Chain A
Amino acid sequence: MGTQLVEAVIDGVLTGGLYALMAAGLTLIFGMLEIINIAQGIFVLLGSYLSYALWAHAGIDPFLGLLVTIPILFVVGIGVEWAFMRRIGDRDRVSMSILVTYAVSLVIEGALDIAFGTTFVQLRPSYFARTWHVFGFYLEYIYVFGFVLAALLIAALYALMYRTRFGASLRAALQDRTAATLIGVNVKRVSTITFGIGVAVTAAGGMVFGATNDFSANSSTDLISRLLTIIVLGGLGSIGGAMGAAVFMLVLEDVVAVVWSPVWAPVIYFLVLLIVLSVRPQGLFGKVSTRAQ
């Protein structure tokens, strides 16, 4: 049992890194645009299918394929923001965004069903299933590579936010849109690019998700439920909070599966959400929202 428990924790941390990356994109979009992007789940699946298509039909390694899929998802994000998000007014903004992104999600899901069918597929390059033997534990390449990839991309995201001029404008607009406008930040442009970045990270998330799970376009429902739970627990708009919550929740789920039962793992996952929200509505790591308009 002890070994299984440690294994569950390691699995939870490795998978949590991946969810942290996907949730970081989602929470960044919420923080910047004040919209809940229900389509984030289907964007992840779009990333999975794009990697799958490149690997299955062109023989391109999924990691190498990210050089193509990340820019594609970035452009898709920019397009969706331009076409739909910027037309949502200030009134009932959050609820309208849920409806609009849900509609976007359904359209993409339908397109994926038509293009790839409804049967489950999986990305399985042969080396993904190889393992490293470390301190008596077997770690699959794909989980380790996926974790490293997520860590690198999160570091890149932080570097972008804290080391670049664009990042300064993004952080300024996150805190006070009017004040940011008055110092010369083009808030609309920053919002569009932020949406693009938030969607682009799903390319990497989707590739690793597709390599570790059988998937179909329908898988997006479960995925978005988990991602929303993570960003709510992490405190809406907080990237650091999303990372902490992602690792915490994935470790918790894996540990419950080992200690109790795999059937109870998802139940506990969402039960924790309800309990935390009832005692700490701003989430585990969040602060009470203070953004000015």
Chain B
Amino acid sequence: MAPQTSDHVSDRVAPALASTQPLLEFRGVCAGYGGADILHEVSFEVPEGGLTCVVGPNGAGKSTLLGTVSGVVRTTVGELVFRGERLKKATPRERLERGIVQVPQNHSLFREMTVRENVELGAFILKDRTIVRERYEQIAETIPIVAERAKDKAGSLSGGQQRLVEFARCLMLDPALVVLDEPSMGLDPHTRKIVFKTVRSLHRHGRTVLLVEQNARAGLRLATHGVVLENGRVRLAGSGREVLENPEIGALFLGGVVGASRPAGAPETPPGR
């Protein structure tokens, strides 16, 4: 199926995504800060079990978009629907209770607390300490840095290690939807690969992931579905591959034509860049 391109396709749900059961739907969402909207009638679906990557230039409204999902940014018009229920009035805590967990863009660990405290705080809304302990043990096995540095202050970890601990923290609620805001930002190429591998692993283990990534190529290569955001509007939505190989989008956002359309002799951008 050919990807749909338009300057103003925000009122339509992308056909490529409509065939799959949506976990989250954006329906004509407008949102912003201080009375000024940054998002304009954004509509697309996040399919259950998929990895949806949102790309776009700086200032496109990507982080604002994720803010509307976690509830730290309010929608002014339109609505978000999660598992068939409207999210409009749900507080960030209520969204956590429904299984929506966000890892924000900037390093968000509590630097003066230990790695263990940080990870356990991921389950802050759970009152059953036994469940918290059990989940912690499981996660410490899956993400070794958690066990290795459990007693160290989070602020003493490198940027990449902090990212992995943030992932560990977000798993404490066994979330239905993991929202990741530019997880590779500020990391060296090697650490970036590890982070992307972990994102892929989250998806392979059956979690639905909504990812915003400045590193558009790397993000779209991981993704089952891609959304291009420009000036707060959906420019294109389709499968990850469709978006990645769209010549117009490639020229605009990916530093030139990519995939099959790449000119002969043109160097391929190294993976993880």
List B residues at the A interface (Cβ < 8 Å): 70, 72, 91-93, 96-97, 101-102, 104, 106, 108-113, 117, 121-122, 124-125, 169
Contact = CB atoms under 8 A, between A and B. Distances in A.
Contacts of A183: 96, 121-122, 124-125, 169
23 contacts: A168-B117, A168-B124, A171-B112, A172-B110, A172-B124, A175-B110, A175-B111, A176-B108, A176-B110, A179-B108, A179-B110, A181-B92, A182-B70, A182-B92, A182-B102, A182-B108, A183-B96, A183-B122, A183-B125, A183-B169, A184-B92, A184-B93, A184-B97
Given A168-B117, A176-B110, A184-B93, 8 more contacts: A179-B110, A181-B72, A183-B96, A183-B124, A184-B96, A186-B93, A290-B111, A292-B106
Contacts of B96: 183-184
Given A168-B117, A184-B124, A185-B124, A178 B109 contact: no
A151 B268 CA distance: 66
A171 B109 contact: no
A51 interface: no
A169 interface: yes
Interface centre among A169, A178, A185 (most CB of B within 10 A): A178
A232 to B, nearest CB: 21
Contacts of B125: 183-184
A184 B124 CA distance: 7
Contacts of B101: 182
Interface string A167-205: 011011001101111111110000000000000000000
A171 B154 CA distance: 14
B79 to A, nearest CB: 21
Nearest to A179: B108
A102 B108 CA distance: 35
Contact of A175 (B70, B92, B112): B112
A179 B121 CA distance: 11
Contacts of A181: 72, 92
A292 B112 CA distance: 12
Interface centre among A181, A183, A186 (most CB of B within 10 A): A183
Which 6 interchain pairs have the tightest Cβ spacing?
A: A179-B108, A184-B125, A184-B93, A175-B110, A183-B124, A184-B96
Contacts of A176: 108, 110
Contact of A178 (B72, B113, B121): B72
Interface in A31-55: none
A186 B110 CA distance: 16
Nearest to B172: A183
Given A179-B110, A183-B96, A172 B121 contact: yes
Given A168-B117, A184-B96, A186-B93, A179 B112 contact: no
Contacts of B104: 178-179, 182
Interface string A135-174: 0000000000000000000000000000001001101100
Contacts of B113: 171-172, 175
Interface centre among A165, A175, A290 (most CB of B within 10 A): A175
Contacts of A175: 110-113
A290 B111 CA distance: 9
A46 to B, nearest CB: 33
A168 B108 CA distance: 15
A175 B109 CA distance: 9
Contacts of B122: 183
Contacts of A186: 91, 93
Contacts of B93: 184, 186
A230 B259 CA distance: 64
Contacts of B169: 183
Contacts of A168: 117, 121, 124
A225 B195 CA distance: 51
A291 to B, nearest CB: 9
Contacts of B91: 186
B103 to A, nearest CB: 8
A122 B5 CA distance: 80
A185 B102 CA distance: 14
A290 B109 CA distance: 12
Contacts of A172: 110, 113, 121, 124
A186 B125 CA distance: 10
A184 to B, nearest CB: 4
Interface string A95-110: 0000000000000000
A172 to B, nearest CB: 5
A168 B112 CA distance: 12
